[in-house]
Chains A and B, each alone.
Chain A
Amino acid sequence: MTLLITVFAAIICTVIWYIKAPKSKMKLGSLCLMYWGASLMWLVDALFEYSELHSEYFTPAPMDMLNDSYLGLSVVALGLIIWLVIVLIKDPKGVVKATLFKKVTTEGEA
């Protein structure tokens, strides 16, 4: 479930990135790559687990599934938080700078 939720997050992000690119400055590409990176790593984890459990892998206990879903959603939230921090630090639109430094006069103005 964690893998599935992360893959869906990666797909949704990629679609949004494609719609907004190349003009968007919101660093959506970083968020996409973060989710894709995690998805690929969990895919490897899933393949190794499948090689041990075989068909049992597809019939997890309901409590395990619930825990994995909760984990998947938390991972998506954490990814969004990391992305938000990156956006606020890099400040591609200059919003944070504009908030911190209020313009008084422009050079050349009286």
Chain B
Amino acid sequence: MACFIVPAAEAVITSIATKVVKSKEDVPETLKVQFDNEKTEVVEKVPFSRKLGWLNNLLWGGSALLAFEHVWHGEVVPWFPFLTAAENAADTAEMLNEMSTVGVTMAILVTAIWLGMVGVTAAIERKTLKAGKYRIREEE
């Protein structure tokens, strides 16, 4: 009915958080890593704001496509109150129930998957740095 509103609301919050984090971030941290094959590479760590961007894309993209599905099924209309379920109390109660169950689960699952992605990338970063013989320099 309007389950996409919950992840969309989360997307608004995470987009603002991304802007704040990005404004506080310095120049991306660069590391010079020497690998076992004697090859030296300067690598740039992915800043946290970019990782938050992944969550934004998941939430905004998913919400947009789900909103289209709701338009398709006639649950979202281009006139006030925009949600057909908001036209009477019984449907509104059902809509709020769906938002608090399906909508919240959607937001939790997407966030959990993103946390998994962040965890995996952090592990890959650690493994890559370990594979290098030593860290020659670490810039601010």
Contacts and interface: CB of A to CB of B under 8 A. Distances in A.
A104 B54 CA distance: 40
Contacts, number: 79
Interface string A14-39: 00000000000000011001111111
A44 to B, nearest CB: 5
Would you call the interface of chain A mostly helix, strand, loop, or mixed? helix
Would you call the interface of chain B mostly helix, strand, loop, or mixed? helix
A40 B61 contact: no
B65 A6 contact: yes
A66 interface: no
A41 interface: yes
For B57, B64, B72, the residue with the greatest tally of chain A CB atoms inside 10 Å of its CB is B57
B62 interface: yes
Interface of A: 2, 6, 29-30, 33-45, 48, 71, 74-75, 78-79, 82
